[in-house]
Chain A
Amino acid sequence: MWKYSEATRFSDRWKKNYQKSKYLYAMLLPLLLYYFIFHYIPMAGAIIAFQNYKPALGFLKSPWIGFTHFVDFFTGPYAWRLIRNTLVLNIYQIIFGFPVPILLALMINEIRIRSFKKVVQTISYMPHFISLVVICGMLVTFSRTDGLFNDFRVLFGMERLSLLAENSMFRTIFTASGVWQTMGWGSIIYLATLSTVDPNLYEAASLDGAGRISKIIHVSFPALTPIIIIQLIMRIGNILTQGFEKIILLYSPLVYENADVISSYVYRRGLQEMDYSFGAAMGIFNSIINLTILVLANYTAKKTWNQSLW
């Protein structure tokens, strides 16, 4: 806590710090202004989660209904299913989707032939640019009984099924397509980090008798550790966020059991009646859970690897 010795009063410490780092304060000023104006001021508008908001009435006059929205959602029959699906899809995406870009970056980094390296890099991130609508259109077509995926199934002796109508296939299709679309783009930041590794380190490792794989484990990978941890923390901090667009494009009532998530449910509700408040309430719930998990993840990372967001 506070000690009353010289120069430890807050105002004194701050003055000292300012003297030392006044340029830093200057550098931060535009940043702080930006966040205050464009993020914090509108945040006050989140109050509509607690109201029955009507855009025309504004915030001051819309009727106040407290926690009704939250109660409504949690006492509904599907609350558990929606939360579970949101979490599961995210966890799958983290388990399968998080390591792949890292592996890809490590592999690309090992290519010696310059031109091949460039080609792989450039092509691997192309799927990222194709809009979700087209990707999902392709997935839907391939999943039909006469589609490509079924052609493969037949090769392996399996029967033809309308794959997107099968509840058990949804998570696979959703996750795998996500990995495919984002792995190239996701590897960029790791590749950039790998390019800053001092080549002398590899030389030294060679002299110590290290083989390719050993060098990757002991030189390349450690260079990536800080960025991996930060990425992982931020990714885990989004554990309850699942955008509805891709879900809507792929799902049907037959697979609600595994596919319906919080955001797609809110979307359907919004179609019946433009209920801003309900959407906002769900958003707040999302955010609170996410933030809690984020804090936990950050704390764990700090204690374990001494790397953290803050």
Chain B
Amino acid sequence: MRKRTVLLVMLLGCTMLFAFAAGSKEGAGNTSTAMQSSTPIREYPIVTSSPVTLTIWAPLNSSASKHITSYNDNAAIKKYQEATGVTVKFIHPAIGQEREQFNLMMASGELPDIIIGASYYSGGEFQGMEDGVFLDLTEYLPIYAPDYYQVIQDNKSFYREVSNDEGRIPAFYSYKVPGDPPFRRIILREDILSEIGVEIPQTLAEYEPMFQKMLAKGITPFILQKFGYEEQFMGLYGVWANEVGGFYNDNGTVKYGPVQSGFKQYLELMNSWYKKGYISKDFTSLNVNQTRTLLDTKKAGMIVDAIVANFNRSQQMKYSVTAANYPRLQPGQKLHYEGNDATPKMPQAENIGAINAKSKNKEVALRFMNYAFTEKGIELLNWGVEGLNFTKVNGKNVYNETMLANPKFGTEEASYIYKMHFFPKYNMPDTEVHANLLKSPEALASRFKWYPDPDMDSAYKLPNIQLTPDELNKRTRLMTDITTYTNEMVLKFIIGATPLSEFEKFVATCKSMGIEEAVSITQGAFNRYQQK
């Protein structure tokens, strides 16, 4: 009986493997086509011998999904197709499952012509290019996507970000002129401030008296970020860190924030505030909505959040918020951690579009994507359709009621029904095209408060450097454990579960977990990046 069973199992196993492998996808190959011409092609609409329909896989914006089922229904996209002479068919994954469905699509081996969200590829879109799944665009761009190519050539930092170490480019990226005012600010309620008779604090020393007065009134002064990392207070001590193990750039040297001595000072500050009751005891379990509600109901005094979102909401709730500038130890202290808009490449997956290496319509796809960088394309995708959702006033584009006060939906949805807020394109600044900001002049003004600040820059921010797959693998392995440990310890230090005298022990443990190796991997990639 035994023998039979073993034979049976082996037979079963072989059948399985065979049936399975036969059905699965073969590896991809990279085919390159000979260049048809070497002069840039700029004419639109695109003329082809037979009508072409391009298929595009793209995440559908969740807010817009309430009203449209596909970007084919988007007003700007409709005009875009007319202007380029190409019809497109969008394929959208289920909302919330973009990553899973992307990987399933990869496994099935049937890719559409254009893939927006290419960064979902295992190891990033650069790896997708290496593996031959995404077309290596480098040779094609000058000819078929000259406008996009122009943007790359004109901007060295953009070039560095969109190319790998050998200068090869895997996708169409969104370019944004850096310099929009930051969106995240310390937010306070004007009525609370006047009740306790306090001005907006400027230096660190002014915060504690404010907290004291808030506490006296039964208001929880400060809701700290869930993981305990608040860059606006970290920056005072010359360090930066976040809960996913971010590194920062200190004058060319890559550093890991939590093991720096400045970080200890930050923890001491937070710990002393926590002990005095200035920080909410529930901060580790509050989410964004709950935090905002605490501010709305006057149970909290200060949060750090998106200023315009809070401005708009507070208007609805009939009170006023105001933003505080970056806190400083002494006036004029130079700070370097502002990450908003530090780099021209927009990181969101919806802003990265790759071309299928096996597409039968490569040239058409390239020219189609390029249109987003032409003058007409820029206007179409950034603002929408003239006459429909915006009008020209004195040469400037101004949104109308349909966009800003639509009875059927809000500005978030409108940004994906009339225009394409996120799409691989040349992006005009938020302050000119972001519908939420332009709802009212006050909303816009709230974003501009304290801007520009001459003593703040983004020097700490690491650009989008690329790691080799090996490096990425190694670093992820190290960092998963290190961030688990760090995140735990940071919270323990802040609430006082672990005394700060053990900070040196904490640093030593991080070192024994391999943080120095992780840092040097990152440093190496950074150095390579700078050479480009």
Residues of chain A touching chain B, judged by Cβ–Cβ distance below 8 Å, are 10, 36, 40-45, 47, 52, 54-61, 72, 76-78, 140, 143-145, 161-162, 164-165, 252-254, 256-257, 260, 265, 268-269, 271-276
Contacts and interface: CB of A to CB of B under 8 A. Distances in A.
Contact of A57 (B27, B120, B477): B27
A162 B21 contact: no
B442 interface: no
B480 interface: yes
Contacts of B109: 56, 58
Contacts of B122: 54-55, 273-276
Given A253-B487, A254-B495, A274-B103, A56 B476 contact: no
B488 A253 contact: yes
Given A55-B122, A77-B513, A273-B472, A165 B495 contact: yes
List of 3 A-B pairs having minimum Cβ-Cβ separation, nearest first: A61-B27, A55-B106, A253-B487
Nearest to A160: B281
Nearest to B100: A274
A254 B491 contact: yes
Contacts of A162: 281-282, 284-285
A76 B482 CA distance: 10
Given A58-B109, A274-B122, A40 B16 contact: yes
A168 to B, nearest CB: 12
Given A56-B128, A58-B25, A77-B481, A145 B282 contact: yes
Given A54-B122, A272-B476, A60 B20 contact: no
A273 B103 CA distance: 13
A272 B21 contact: no
A41 B20 contact: yes
Interface in B1-47: 1, 4, 12-13, 15-17, 19-21, 24-28
16 contacts: A44-B16, A55-B106, A56-B121, A56-B128, A57-B28, A58-B25, A78-B484, A144-B282, A162-B281, A164-B285, A165-B284, A165-B285, A253-B487, A253-B490, A272-B245, A276-B103
A56 B104 CA distance: 9
A254 B492 contact: yes
Nearest to B28: A56
B56 interface: no
B476 A275 contact: yes
B4 A10 contact: yes
B131 interface: yes
B12 A40 contact: yes
Interface of B: 1, 4, 12-13, 15-17, 19-21, 24-28, 99, 103-104, 106-107, 109, 120-123, 127-128, 131, 133, 226-227, 244-245, 281-282, 284-285, 472-473, 476-477, 479-481, 483-485, 487-488, 490-492, 495, 497, 513
A268 B480 contact: yes
B16 A43 contact: yes
A84 to B, nearest CB: 15
Contacts of B24: 45, 58-60
A47 B27 CA distance: 16
B123 A60 contact: no
A49 B106 CA distance: 18
A56 B285 contact: no
Contacts of A269: 476, 480
Contact of A257 (B476, B479, B483, B488): B488
Contacts of B20: 41-42, 44-45, 59
Nearest to B13: A44
B107 to A, nearest CB: 4
Given A257-B488, A272-B480, A276-B122, A56 B284 contact: no
A55 B107 contact: yes
Contacts of B481: 76-78
Given A10-B1, A253-B487, A143 B285 contact: yes
A56 B106 contact: yes
A54 B123 contact: yes
A145 B220 CA distance: 12
B439 to A, nearest CB: 30
Given A253-B227, A256-B484, A272-B479, A60 B284 contact: no
A272 B244 contact: yes
Contacts of B15: 41
Contacts of B121: 56
A76 B17 CA distance: 32
Nearest to A37: B19
A144 B106 contact: no
A54 B25 CA distance: 11
Contacts of B106: 54-56
B281 A57 contact: no
| Residue from the set A54, A162, A268, A275 with the largest chain B CB neighbour count within 10 Å | A54
B226 A252 contact: yes
Given A54-B131, A56-B131, A58-B24, A72 B477 contact: yes
Contact of B488 (A161, A254, A271): A254
A143 B21 CA distance: 50
B479 A58 contact: no
Given A43-B16, A57-B131, A268 B484 contact: yes
Given A40-B12, A41-B16, A58 B487 contact: no
A145 B294 CA distance: 14
Contacts of B484: 78, 253, 256, 260, 265, 268
B476 A274 contact: no
A76 B116 CA distance: 36
Nearest to B128: A56
Contacts of B17: 44, 47
A72 B479 CA distance: 13
Contacts of A253: 227, 284, 484, 487-488, 490-491
Contacts of B99: 274
A269 B244 CA distance: 10
A104 B472 CA distance: 52
A43 B104 CA distance: 17
A133 to B, nearest CB: 12
A56 B282 contact: no
A77 B485 CA distance: 10
A276 B4 CA distance: 35
B128 A256 contact: no
Given A10-B1, A56-B106, A58-B27, A252 B285 contact: yes
Contacts of B227: 252-253
Nearest to A269: B480
Contacts of B27: 57-58, 60-61
Contacts of A57: 27-28, 131
Contacts of B131: 54, 56-57
A276 B120 CA distance: 13
Contact of A44 (B1, B21, B28, B477): B21
| Residue from the set B20, B133, B472, B513 with the largest chain A CB neighbour count within 10 Å | B20
Contacts of A145: 281-282
A144 B133 CA distance: 49
A41 B21 CA distance: 10
A140 B291 CA distance: 13
Given A42-B20, A254-B488, A273-B472, A60 B26 contact: yes
A60 B109 CA distance: 13
A93 B81 CA distance: 58
A110 to B, nearest CB: 41
A75 B463 CA distance: 32
Contacts of B103: 55, 274, 276
